[in-house]
């Protein structure tokens, strides 16, 4: 090694150390890094995994590290470690963990609750799960993880290296990038580089990044002298119960005098092969794979013999090996003083493993779970800020702090857990998806208990005017954002007339109309004005007799539904002749009465042709007939086809919101529609943000089997098929259309977490999302969003693990559409995206009833200073009312200046 370093120091990019003495030694130094990749839910639930192997991993690893001083291990996902620490570890185990950490032989890597997905996670949720894990580690051990280990997420986002740099990481490690790109980087020894993931922060937040070679994070399992599992002597984990005799299937041949040379030669050959792809003579050799080291005594006992044999014969092999942690490896590479290529804010999305395996399907898999996960995150955001303000206002209030924090912790845990790369991605089995949903729903129920008690604190009641013998319902609306908002909210009621009063007893503008969902339900819209982090009570009265329009009833508009005849596609002739306008103060939408489709949108300056409808990709389900689609992979079996044969339309002109309802029927004779889209045009919000958004709510499904449904928007923009999408809701990425020999459609799909847009020199069309989707621009002026997928295939692997995505659910995502000049929208679309993500929390606190004098809480005053350019991303218990790690400087208060589009830590 020393001799090789001397040769390296002769390179012009290196700064030599004059004190170094050159001596003969091994040419290659291999750092053997023991690890176990443990998915926090994938095929099996967390509980099943804990029982089958995860508990044994930490128990047996700690025991084996304590037995032999040269051994080391890295621990990655904190959910399993925390469950082991709390429920399984003995006092002896805990004492040994502390000692191993001090000795640097056990190292926590990443330190997040999970190894989060990088494509469809929101940056706030990535911060949350990282802080949740780091807080536990700092509070328990006083340690801070320093390295990333993102070996399994399906593609690498440019947001993650920025986040890790902000969290103080020294280096980052990735693995899954396009097969052809990885091959090129290997050949040119460019697998290591300095990554500047943010175009605004640039070198201020850069991080050294190591890309794993083609063998990825698993030790090669193929051995020329054995057909078993290679270097995994503990075998394969068994579910639901481990074998009582300790003998697992596929256990490798033990290392004996007869096999040690064969094992050693195989390991050396692999190390030398890897060494050819890197600039230094130091090889990171990950030893482990999925669900490994649950029988660590067998693992270490065999590897000890191989490593001792190689080191004893290092002159023969030209290789030396040692157990190592990531710190050992990265510190040694750093000491070479090499200069590295700099990578800008380009990411590694999308990810393909071969020409017909583009991992872009998971952007749209399990749409319901994606929606619930984001909603739970939004409710957590609201709950934490509300709790903090409650403690400020009522430090001695009756709500027990510990009880409230337990509820918040449950929701934090659930939101953190689902960020796992087989969680929010939708790539898990149905029972694991059910586990995530159960934890999220339980957490949100706890939130509702919290917020109800905060807001209905009896000590804060005041009495308002007598309502008389009128049916009333009381609604509390909370604004979780740090700036003032003016918008409308929508609740379902059972009465055809309603009056809405604010906390001053004044009637507010409202609108009531027949619901499209049921003939016995009505939609009530009313305008809310809220300051930053403010809540207010609204009283909804339901007059049971004639309501005089000269009274408060005059503030409520009774909207009528106008129905248009269903139009069959086969009967379409010339279009654009009979256009019907729907307009507000910002837009004029024109609907074609010959097709019942949107025809164009005009803002204050320009008119853009816009047509929107549903299309479907037909997936192949037979592996013998060609490439298939599944949870992970989207393989377009030809171009998309229209998903409907006829369209019906209803328009509801309003004074708070005008509503256009479009129903799409798969066949002309169908009585029930398969798809619908409701476009809501806010009315009366001139000069306010709400004026610029067109809210579109979709209803999709249940789908036919092997269908992937997209909502396609075709415009007159000249965008050259160039698309802009957000990186985890953080910063925007330019996506230039690329042509491939195979699978071009799927390989031009990208994740949309909060926003996507297309534009030309004069116009921009923006879509904002409250959950993640896949998005593409496959032709001039077009943008399509994948809303839902239902797939089945006969691939043995998918069938064995129930990963075919036979999702028969009905999904109801929401997008906000905006149109205008690029300069006009660039200043507001990010703020609108946050308003969509953190919409007002609406809490009905009772059922309609006769209440003569209803006491209600005084409302929080708005923030005294709440500029719209500041977003309080996370308000982590800054009042010293939580865990001790609230004082730990790991992003506990994170402020984004939207104008700069860059985060600032405080």
Q: Identify whether 152 is a catalytic site residue.
A: yes
**Cis peptide, bond prior to residue 702, ω within 30 of zero:** yes
Q: Please tell me the distance from the alpha carbon of residue 887 to that of residue 501, in angstroms, as a whole number.
A: 42
Q: Please tell me the distance from the alpha carbon of residue 762 to that of residue 766, in angstroms, as a whole number.
A: 13
Q: Please tell me the distance from the alpha carbon of residue 783 to that of residue 318, in angstroms, as a whole number.
A: 56
Q: Do the Cβ atoms of 833 and 754 come closer than 8 Å?
A: yes
Dihedral Cα 505, 510, 516, 521, nearest 10 deg: 20
**Cis peptide, bond prior to residue 350, ω within 30 of zero:** yes
Torsion angles phi and psi, residue 743, rounded to 5: 65, 40
Residue with tokens 């193929």: 222
Report helix, strand and coil shares of the chain as percent, to nearest 5: 30, 25, 45
Torsion angles phi and psi, residue 131, rounded to 5: -65, -35
Torsion angles phi and psi, residue 375, rounded to 5: -65, -40
Torsion angles phi and psi, residue 215, rounded to 5: -80, -10
Residue with tokens 């208990």: 449
- Upper half-sphere CA count for residue 619 (Cβ side, 13 Å): 29
Residue with tokens 């390179």: 11
Q: Do the Cβ atoms of 479 and 859 come closer than 8 Å?
A: no
Q: Please tell me the distance from the alpha carbon of residue 283 to that of residue 279, in angstroms, as a whole number.
A: 10
Torsion sign across C-alpha atoms 883, 884, 887, 892: negative
Q: Please tell me the distance from the alpha carbon of residue 729 to that of residue 903, in angstroms, as a whole number.
A: 12
838, two tokens = 């953190």
Q: Tell me the sheet residues that pair with 551.
A: none
Stated as kind and residue range, the H or E segment containing 103 is: helix 91-103
Cβ neighbors of 238 (< 8 A, separation 6 or more) are 52, 248, 249
Q: Do the Cβ atoms of 242 and 236 come closer than 8 Å?
A: no
Cβ neighbors of 610 (< 8 A, separation 6 or more) are 598, 599, 600, 601, 713, 714, 715, 716, 765, 819
The CA distances from residue 374 to 416, 441, 836, in Å, are 11, 12, 11
Comparing CA positions, the residue from 741, 902, 853, 70 lying closest to residue 461 is 853
Q: Please tell me the distance from the alpha carbon of residue 896 to that of residue 903, in angstroms, as a whole number.
A: 4
* First CA to last CA distance, the chain: 44
The CA distances from residue 704 to 218, 539, 616, 790, 792, in Å, are 38, 44, 10, 7, 11
Comparing CA positions, the residue from 214, 321, 182, 211 lying closest to residue 263 is 321
533, two tokens = 């982090």
- Number of helices followed by number of strands (H, E) in the chain: 19, 44
Residue with tokens 């006491």: 855
Given 39, 122, 125, 152, the catalytic residue? 152
Inter-axis angle of helices 367-393 and 123-141, to 10 degrees?
Answer: 60
Q: What is the DSSP string of 147-167?
A: B--B-SSSSB-SHHHHHHHHT
3-state secondary structure of 134: helix
Inter-axis angle of helices 296-312 and 260-275, to 10 degrees?
Answer: 80
User: What is the set of active-site residues?
Assistant: 152
């Amino acid at each position: 090694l020393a001799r090789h370093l001397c040769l390296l120091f002769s390179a012009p990019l290196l700064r030599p150390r004059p004190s170094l003495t050159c001596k003969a030694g091994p040419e290659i130094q291999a750092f053997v890094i023991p690890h176990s990749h443990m998915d926090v839910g994938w095929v099996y639930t967390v509980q099943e995994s804990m029982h089958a192997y995860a508990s044994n991993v930490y128990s047996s690893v700690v025991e084996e590290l304590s037995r032999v001083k040269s051994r080391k291990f890295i621990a990655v996902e904190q959910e399993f470690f925390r469950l082991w620490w709390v429920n399984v570890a003995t006092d002896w185990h805990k004492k040994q963990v502390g000692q191993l950490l001090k000795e640097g032989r056990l190292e926590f890597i990443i330190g997040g609750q999970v190894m989060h997905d990088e494509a469809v996670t929101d940056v706030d949720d990535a911060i949350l799960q990282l802080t949740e894990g780091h807080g536990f580690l700092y509070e328990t051990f006083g340690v801070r993880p320093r390295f990333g280990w993102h070996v399994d997420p399906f593609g690498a986002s440019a947001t993650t290296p920025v986040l890790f740099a902000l969290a103080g990481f020294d280096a980052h490690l990735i693995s899954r990038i396009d097969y052809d790109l990885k091959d090129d980087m290997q050949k040119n020894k460019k697998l290591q580089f300095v990554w500047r993931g943010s175009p605004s922060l640039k070198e201020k937040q850069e991080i050294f990044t190591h890309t794993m070679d083609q063998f990825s994070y698993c030790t090669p399992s193929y051995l020329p002298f054995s057909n078993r599992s290679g270097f995994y002597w503990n075998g394969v984990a068994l579910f639901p119960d481990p074998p009582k005799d300790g003998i697992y299937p596929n256990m490798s041949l033990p290392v004996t005098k007869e096999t040690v040379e064969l094992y050693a030669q195989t390991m050396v050959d692999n190390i030398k092969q890897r060494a050819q792809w890197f600039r230094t003579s130091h090889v990171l050799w990950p030893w482990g794979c999925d669900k490994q080291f649950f029988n660590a005594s067998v693992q270490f006992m065999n590897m000890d013999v191989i490593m001792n044999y190689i080191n004893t014969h290092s002159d023969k092999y030209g290789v030396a090996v040692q157990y190592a942690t990531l710190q050992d490896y990265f510190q040694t590479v750093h000491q070479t003083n090499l200069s590295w290529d700099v990578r800008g804010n380009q990411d590694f999305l999308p990810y393909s493993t071969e020409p017909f395996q583009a991992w872009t399907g998971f952007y749209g898999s399990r749409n319901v779970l994606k929606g619930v996960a984001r909603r739970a995150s939004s409710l957590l955001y609201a709950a934490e800020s509300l709790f903090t303000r409650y403690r400020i206002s009522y430090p001695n209030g009756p709500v027990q702090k510990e009880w409230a924090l337990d509820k918040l912790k449950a929701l934090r845990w659930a939101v953190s857990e689902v960020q796992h790369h087989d969680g929010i991605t939708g790539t898990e089995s149905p029972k694991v998806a059910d586990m995530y949903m159960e934890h999220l729903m339980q957490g949100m129920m706890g939130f509702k208990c919290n917020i109800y008690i905060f807001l209905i604190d009896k000590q804060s009641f005041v009495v308002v005017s007598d309502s008389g013998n009128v049916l009333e319902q009381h609604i509390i609306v909370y604004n979780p954002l740090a700036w003032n908002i003016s918008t409308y909210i929508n609740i379902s009621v059972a009465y055809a007339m309603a009056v809405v009063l604010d906390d001053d007893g004044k009637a507010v503008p409202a609108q009531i109309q027949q619901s499209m969902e049921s003939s016995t339900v009505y939609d009530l819209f009313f305008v809310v004005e809220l300051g930053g982090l403010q809540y207010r009570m609204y009283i909804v009265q339901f007059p049971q007799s004639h309501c005089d329009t000269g009274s408060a009833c005059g503030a409520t508009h009774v909207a009528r539904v106008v129905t248009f005849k269903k139009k069959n596609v086969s009967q379409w002739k010339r279009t654009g002749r009979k256009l019907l306008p729907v307009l507000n103060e910002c837009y004029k939408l024109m609907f074609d009465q010959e097709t019942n489709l949107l025809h164009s949108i005009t803002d204050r300056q320009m008119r853009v042709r816009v047509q929107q409808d549903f299309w479907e990709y037909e997936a192949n389900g037979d592996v013998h007939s060609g490439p298939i689609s599944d949870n992970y992979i989207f393989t377009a079996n030809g171009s998309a086809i229209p998903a409907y044969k006829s369209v019906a339309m209803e328009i509801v002109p309003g004074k708070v919101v005008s509503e256009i309802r479009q129903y799409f029927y798969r066949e002309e004779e169908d009585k029930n529609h398969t798809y619908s889209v409701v476009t809501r045009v806010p009315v009366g919000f001139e000069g306010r943000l709400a004026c610029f958004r067109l809210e579109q709510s979709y209803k999709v499904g249940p789908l036919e089997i092997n269908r992937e449904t997209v909502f396609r928007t075709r415009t007159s923009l000249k965008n050259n098929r160039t698309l802009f999408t957000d990186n985890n809701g953080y910063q925007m990425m330019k996506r230039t259309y690329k042509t491939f020999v195979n699978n071009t459609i799927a390989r031009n799909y990208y994740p949309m977490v909060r926003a996507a847009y297309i534009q030309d020199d004069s116009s921009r069309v923006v879509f904002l999302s409250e959950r993640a989707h896949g998005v593409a621009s496959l032709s001039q002026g077009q943008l399509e969003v994948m809303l839902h997928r239902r797939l089945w295939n006969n691939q043995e692997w998918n069938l064995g693990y129930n990963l075919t995505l036979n999702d028969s659910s009905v999904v109801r995502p929401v997008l906000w559409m905006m149109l205008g000049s690029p300069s006009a929208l660039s200043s507001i679309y990010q703020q609108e995206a946050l308003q969509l993500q953190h919409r007002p929390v609406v809490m009905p606190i009772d059922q309609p009833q006769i209440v003569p004098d209803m006491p209600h809480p005084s409302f929080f005053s708005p923030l005294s200073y709440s500029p719209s350019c500041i977003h309080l991303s996370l308000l982590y218990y800054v009042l010293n009312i939580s865990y001790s790690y609230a004082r730990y400087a790991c992003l506990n208060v994170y402020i984004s200046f939207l104008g700069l589009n860059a985060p600032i830590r405080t």
